[in-house]
Amino acid sequence: MGFEGAMPEISLSINGAPVTGTVEGRTLLVEFIRETMKLTGTHTGCDTSQCGACTVHLDGKAVKSCTMLAVQADGAEVTTIEGLAPEGEMNPMQQAFNDHHGLQCGFCTPGMVMRAMALVADNPDPTEAEVRHGLEGNICRCTGYQNIVAAVLDGAKALRG
């Protein structure tokens, strides 16, 4: 039947490492990631699930970690921006964002990169229109998107090898 009482204990994998923790039922996944796990690369930019700054991967799929309870990630594999390039290097998508000036203030960037990675995992060779449409869950206020789109197309190419 699952959890009784207000403080479930959860076990999951974050960026490949096993993690256990006690949460409240109402604890959001983003709160668990940022406050309990101290992984502050995942950001909160709104409270209505629109900006996408909190995007992480849940079992390989992009989700908004502000619109999911932490307890719902029990048993799942979660990847955050910190898990894309654990050695402090940049992966090809991150490198493409750097090459194309696909970020300015950097606040939407982790969510944008996580979404971009999921997008190209589903569609390794997207068109520009597919990229633009595919980023509809992520808002950037700095770049005007042009360089983000260029970065995603280039990152996709690099990831195709």
Partner 1 sequence: MEEFTYTRPATADDATGAHSAAEDAMYMAGGQTLIPVLKQGLAMPTDVVDLNRVGDLAGIQVTGDAVTIGAMTRHAVVAASAEVKGAIPALTVLAGGIGDAQVRNRGTMGGSLANNDPSADYPSAVLGLGATVTTNQREIPADEFFDGMFATNLEDGELIKSVTYPIPEKAGYAKFPNPASRYALVGVFVAKTAGGVRVAVTGAGQDGVFRPAEVEAALSADFSAAALDGVTVPADDLMTDMHAAADYRAHLIVVMAKRAVNQANGQG
Partner 2 sequence: MSNVKIGESLRRVEDLRFLTGHGRYIDDINLDGQARAVVVRSPYAHATINSIDTSSVADMDGVLLVVTRDDWQREGFKPMPTKSGVKNNKDGTPLSQPDRHALAIDRVRYVGEPVALVVAETLQQAQDAAEALDVDYDELDAVTDPVKALAPGAPQLWDDIPNNLCLDFELGDKDGTEKAFAEADHVVSLDVLNNRVTAVPIEPRGCIASYDASEDKYTLYNASQNVHANRDTFAEVLNIDPAKLDHIAPDVGGGFGAKNSGYPEPPLCLYAAKRLGRPVKWINSRSESFLSDTHGRGQSSRVELALKADGTFMGLRTTTIGGIGAYAWTVGPFTPTGGSARTQGGPYNFPAMYYSGKAVLTNTAPMDPYRGAGRPEATFQTERIVEYAARKLGFDPIELRRKNLMPKEMLPHKTPMGLDVDSGDFPKLFEMTMDMVAKADQAALKAKAEAAGKKYGFAIAPYLECTGGGPKEHAGVTFNKDGSVELAVGTSSTGMGHETSLAQILAAALGIEMGRVKFQQSDTTATPLGGGHGGSRGMEVGGNAVKQAADEIIELAKPIAARLLQSETEEVDFEDGTFKAGASSVSMNDVIEASQDADKLPEGMEPGCLNHSSVFERGIISIPNGVHAAAVAVDTDTGTVEFLGYWVMDDFGTIINPMLADGQVMGGVAQGIGQAFLEDIVYDPDTGQLVTGSLMDYGLPHADEIPNMEIGYYEGEPTKKNPLGVKGAGEAGCVGACPAVVNAVLDALKDDGVTHIDMPLTPQKVWKAIRDKGAHDPKALLGDAA
Residues of this chain that interact with partner 2 (CB under 8 A) are 34, 39-48, 50-51, 53, 80-82, 84-85, 88, 90, 94, 97-99, 101, 103-110, 113, 129, 131-133, 135-136, 138-149
Left (φ > 0), alpha (ψ -120 to 50) or beta: where does 90 sit?
beta
Q: Which does 62 bind (CB under 5 to 8 A by kind): partner 2, partner 1, none?
A: partner 1
Q: Are 65 and 55 in contact (CB under 8 A)?
A: yes
Q: Which does 101 bind (CB under 5 to 8 A by kind): partner 1, partner 2, none?
A: partner 2
Q: Does 136 help bind partner 1 (rule: CB under 8 A)? A: yes
Number of residues that bind partner 1 (CB under 8 A): 35
Q: Which does 14 bind (CB under 5 to 8 A by kind): partner 2, partner 1, none?
A: none
- In which residue are the tokens 């039947």 written? 1
88 φ/ψ angles, rounded to the nearest 5 degrees: 85, 0
What radius of gyration do the chain's Cα atoms show? 16
